[in-house]
Structure 1
Amino acid sequence: MAGRKHEPLRLLTVQEAAKLLHVSDDTVRRQIKEGALEAIRVRTTPTGRAQYRIPTAAIDRILGNTALQLHEDVDPFEPLRQAFAHLSDEEREELIDSAVQWAKARRVVPEVQRSPALSEQALRERFAKSPLLQLGRKDEQDER
């Protein structure tokens, strides 16, 4: 045991565990209370509700070793870094610039269709019965 490094527990919130298990938060809490799901009670909220943390190992046992794979701190850019490792700074910049140009050339810009502007007369006719216009007319008459 002297040579083993201590591995801290990776803990999930009730919401995170529920998401991994594809169940509701209430189902996870019920499983904890029934003893079907291992959990650590971390505190009680001011409203009296218990807050739990669930070890990923408990989720792992339920899902068959897939939970830890989903929660490992994996850098999604590592393969890209490895691919770029042999390039010089100038080559990297050039590659990034050409990738940006390629993406811009293929970007689809949606066309915005606008209705033609209405004349002042058309607006007055459309909103003739609007209470806001009635108030505006009343204010104008009061000023006179």
Structure 2
Amino acid sequence: MTGRKHEPRRLLTVQEAAKLLHVSDDTVRRQIKEGALEAIRVRTTATGRAQYRIPTAAIDRVLGNTALQLQEEADPFEPLRQAFAHLTDEEREDLIDQAVQWARERRPVEQVKRAPALSEEALRERFAGNSLLEALRKDERDER
């Protein structure tokens, strides 16, 4: 056995693959049936149509390494990681504290107005006839 980690494959729907390949869904299905495009049959719909999932690697082979770049979501924090890479832990903490303080000064905290709490009697009145409430009452009676 090798020491490689298992990396899960990203699977695309027929529609997603068609969009990446700039072809119709029917063209993708035809390529799958002809064996020109690798796919995994996941199920058959109630109407009898086969449902497939296409590995991104198969699209990658067709497009020449561009599909994964288009399909995989970019890490939105990568620019921050690069900017923070040369800083010490202490410098990072200071910078984060400054950013939090800056954000708090510019965005006042809004007070959340809450309705006054209802009494137990008011709650029972409001939810009278509710089957869940009736079940809870029955449990209370049974416990006594």
- Describe the shift of the 1:66–1:97 C-alpha distance in structure 2 as closer, same or farther (beyond 3 A): farther
Per-residue CA deviation, residues 14-70 of structure 1 (Å, 9 max, x unaligned), is: 011011111111111111112111111000011111100001111001100111222
Aligned partner of 1:9 in structure 2 is 9
Aligned partner of 2:18 in structure 1 is 18
Residue 64 (str. 1) matches residue 64 (str. 2): yes
CA distance in 2 between counterparts of 1:26 and 1:97 reads: 53
Aligned partner of 1:125 in structure 2 is none
| From 91, 99, 112, the counterpart of 2:98 | 91
CA distance in 1 between counterparts of 2:23 and 2:73 reads: 24
- Describe the shift of the 1:25–1:97 C-alpha distance in structure 2 as closer, same or farther (beyond 3 A): farther
- Where do 1:103-114 residues align within 5 Å? none
CA drift at 1:93: 2.9
- Whose radius of gyration is greater, 1 or 2? 1
- Describe the shift of the 1:10–1:97 C-alpha distance in structure 2 as closer, same or farther (beyond 3 A): same
Aligned partner of 1:115 in structure 2 is none
Residue 46 (str. 1) matches residue 46 (str. 2): yes
Aligned partner of 2:115 in structure 1 is none
Aligned partner of 1:108 in structure 2 is none
CA distance in 2 between counterparts of 1:7 and 1:82 reads: 25
CA drift at 1:72: 3.1
- Any stretches of 5+ residues in structure 1 without a counterpart? 102-144
CA drift at 1:87: 5.8
Per-residue CA deviation, residues 72-91 of structure 1 (Å, 9 max, x unaligned), is: 35312321354367363332
Q: Count residues with an aligned counterpart.
A: 100
Q: Secondary structure at the match of 2:37?
A: coil
Choose 73-82 or 52-61, whichever is displaced more.
73-82
CA distance in 1 between counterparts of 2:104 and 2:24 reads: 46
Residue type of the partner of 1:69?
Q
- Any stretches of 5+ residues in structure 2 without a counterpart? 108-144
Q: TM-score scaled by structure 2?
A: 0.58
Residue type of the partner of 2:46?
P
